[in-house]
Amino acid sequence: MSAQPLLIPDAAYFETVTTQPGVYIMKAAKGQVVYVGKAKNLRARLRQYFRPGDDTRFFVAAGLLARVLVEIETMIVENEKEALLLENHLIKKHKPRFNIKLRDDKQYLVLRIDPSSSYPRVEVVRNIKDDGARYFGPYHSATSCRSTLRTLNRHFQLRTCSDHVLETRKRVCLQYQIKRCPGPCVYPVASESYGEQVDDVIMFLSGKNQELVKRLRERMHDKAASEEYEAAAQLRDSIAAVDKSLARQNVVQEDFVDQDVFGMWRRGDLVEVVVLFVRGGKLVGKRAFRERDQEFSDEQVIESFVQQYYQTGTLIPEEVLVPCTLDAGAVLGDWLGELRGKKVNILWPQRGQKVRLIELANKNAAASAMTRKGRDDDARAGLEKLAKRLSLRQVPERIECFDIAHISGTDTVASMVVFIDGEPDTSLYRKFKVKTVANNDFGAMYEVLTRRYKRAIKGDTGWDFPDLLVIDGGKGQLSSGLAAIEDLGIELGSEAGFDVVGLAKERDDATGTAHPDRVFLRNSKDPIQLKAHTTELYVLARLRDEAHRFANSFHRQQRKKRSLSSEIDEIPGIGPKRRKALLRHFGSVKAMRAASVEDIARVDTMTKASAALVVEHLARSAQGAGK
């Protein structure tokens, strides 16, 4: 390929491109991937990019792609399905500039129960595995998921402890004392009665609540007839909990089918996509996504969202309803069917109840967009007030905040949090281990900012310069930060620079005089005092608190690792590889001390002999600590 911009390839170039199915990767200078696409016929698809009027997408029609393109790489596959999978993988790997991206692509919370395990329990997980267990969800929020789990634990009395605790516990826990667990860790519990509880939970989570109520009511009458009044009262409470759950659910479909319903709202290149979760004919939740700069057709937007959404590991239902026809609908359906292990139908309904579901999803997308617009307007107003109060050169769309954390100079770390348009963007958060100084906040800040802005100067992806840098601390921390930035040759006063401030928290001095939150500015002797309950303080306090939380969380992780690492460093026969495996598996000295020789021997690279050495050493150290 030529190293010069490939603006309009000639006919000879296209003759070298295969007509087979595959994926094409468009690259800019330095090999940066700017677009990834799939095609049934690679030659025909690539020609469309360079024939005027064939591709009306803005980034193609306006010449944005042609201005940066220097190379096109193709990869041949056997069929369309393989092209779909490869395209998804490459988009997630390279995050191309011009592709549609599902930014909220975290795996959703689901509830897992393995009926084949010893005394099954319900647990919250994100990853769905082909392990024979039953998975229920997805839940649109952690609050919703854990609320369901609390209901199950309160009324269906399955164990909540881990398998390890079940095997090693010697005394029953509080859950047994308050009659929320039969205590199979200590007492013999009949597998038949426990299995009934497991079946009840599966029916509840499957949405078979009418059948469950009937089943529970029969058992309640049987218990009452045999004068087991306490057990009958527990079943009565379980029935009430199921009835309450029924009352909260909206019946939207007469067919008892599990469905995901995609709806869309758009205004120009701004797109809001909503997924409604319909389980057993009942609407149980939703998830909303927003994307800007989407110069793609509705069909392309929905097709890409469906692909990326199910790649995150979320549950796949029997039916996926979409608001428009999809060219790759059949291929997507086959792919989802393979992932699910059962047939999946992707439907664009034209009549009946399913059309009303699409209309409902579209209405939810429009309502979500309006709600989000209101929040965005409020956030923008807050940023404008902040810019005015601090005399910033522009409204700060990207704000970064740094904080240092350590205890007496040990395990010094730093956090960088990023807010985009007034909201946290966790994908841009960064953690730093301080390497050059100890017990020196000023030196630590200098080191961390130097490392961070070197990345920006080099132009590394994801390390763009901010509009505003907030340093947690007073004048000293601000001075250290400014020194680091200026030593890198960044001219803050120039047009290419950015604003830097230091934020000192409210405190009382030795005389008892209260000092409110203060902002220290570059080239200003006196700080700006922020009044309580103002928008400016709210914006900065959110930043500072988030940076503080993120730094402390990382610091705790480092202390925990060091504590365990230092404990096992002294064990003879345990080298670096085994130490790493033990650290990853147990996570704490306490967990390792509670483990048996057999538990430790099951860790990768460990043997029974080396596990016995670990147990013996930890027992001796515990006795020494107790003296």
Among 251, 274, 297, the domain boundary falls at 251
Q: Is residue 86 part of a domain?
A: yes
pLDDT by residue (tens digit) across 155-186? 788 888 888 888 887 888 888 888 788 888 88
Among 488, 505, 533, the domain boundary falls at 533
Do 68 and 114 belong to one domain?
no
> Looking at residue 598, which CATH number applies to its domain?
1.10.150.20
- Count of positions (residues) in the chain: 627
Q: What pLDDT is recorded for position 470?
A: 94
Q: Is residue 432 part of a domain?
A: yes
> Looking at residue 471, which CATH number applies to its domain?
3.30.420.340
Angle in degrees, 0-180, between the axes of helices 353-389 and 535-569, rounded to the nearest 10: 100
User: 90 falls in which pLDDT band (50, 70, 90)?
Assistant: confident
Do 182 and 303 belong to one domain?
no
Number of domains within the chain? 5
Do 241 and 192 belong to one domain?
yes
Do 239 and 361 belong to one domain?
no
Give CA torsion, residues 539, 544, 547, 553, to 10 deg: -120
Do 421 and 497 belong to one domain?
yes
Do 241 and 272 belong to one domain?
no
Do 119 and 163 belong to one domain?
yes
Of 26-40, 228-242, 396-410, 480-494, least confident by mean pLDDT is 228-242
* DSSP structure class, residue 26: E
For residue 626, is pLDDT > 60?
A: no
Do 577 and 445 belong to one domain?
no
pTM of the model: 0.53
Q: Is residue 545 part of a domain?
A: no
Rg (CA), the chain: 29
Domain residues for 491?
398-533
Do 493 and 459 belong to one domain?
yes
Q: What amino acid occupies position 491?
A: E
pLDDT by residue (tens digit) across 21-42? 889 988 887 778 888 888 888 8
Do 520 and 485 belong to one domain?
yes
Instruction: Take residue 76 and report the two structure tokens written for it.
Output: 């041949």
Q: Is residue 190 part of a domain?
A: yes
The mean pLDDT value for 332-359 works out to 88
User: 279 falls in which pLDDT band (50, 70, 90)?
Assistant: confident
Q: Is residue 101 part of a domain?
A: no
The answer to whether the beta carbons of residues 125 and 112 sit under 8 Å apart is: yes
Parallel, antiparallel, or unpaired: how do β-strands 319-321 and 259-267 relate? parallel
Taking alpha carbons only, the member of 512, 403, 417, 538 closest to residue 466 is 417
Q: What pLDDT is recorded for position 31?
A: 77
pLDDT by residue (tens digit) across 413-465? 999 999 988 888 888 999 999 988 888 889 999 999 999 999 988 888 778 89
Q: Which of 59-73, 299-313, 459-473 has the highest mean pLDDT?
A: 459-473
Parallel, antiparallel, or unpaired: how do β-strands 270-279 and 507-508 relate? unpaired
For residue 3, is pLDDT > 50?
A: no
Q: Is residue 53 part of a domain?
A: yes
Among 483, 507, 533, the domain boundary falls at 533
Q: Is residue 528 part of a domain?
A: yes
> Looking at residue 263, which CATH number applies to its domain?
3.30.420.10
> Can you tell me the distance from the alpha carbon of 437 to that of 452, in angstroms, rounded to the nearest whole number?
16
> Can you tell me the distance from the alpha carbon of 511 to that of 181, in angstroms, rounded to the nearest whole number?
55
Do 320 and 343 belong to one domain?
yes
Q: What pLDDT is recorded for position 502?
A: 92
> Looking at residue 45, which CATH number applies to its domain?
3.40.1440.10
For residue 468, is pLDDT > 90?
A: yes
The answer to whether the beta carbons of residues 364 and 274 sit under 8 Å apart is: yes
Do 269 and 301 belong to one domain?
yes
Q: Is residue 542 part of a domain?
A: no
pLDDT by residue (tens digit) across 530-539? 877 788 888 8
* CA angle, 377 then 383 then 385, to 5°: 105
Per 3-state DSSP, the chain is made up of helix, strand and coil in percentages (nearest 5) of 45, 20, 35
H helix runs in 16-63, sequence order: 42-49, 58-61
Taking alpha carbons only, the member of 33, 24, 29, 36 closest to residue 3 is 29
Q: What is the largest CA-CA distance in the chain?
A: 90
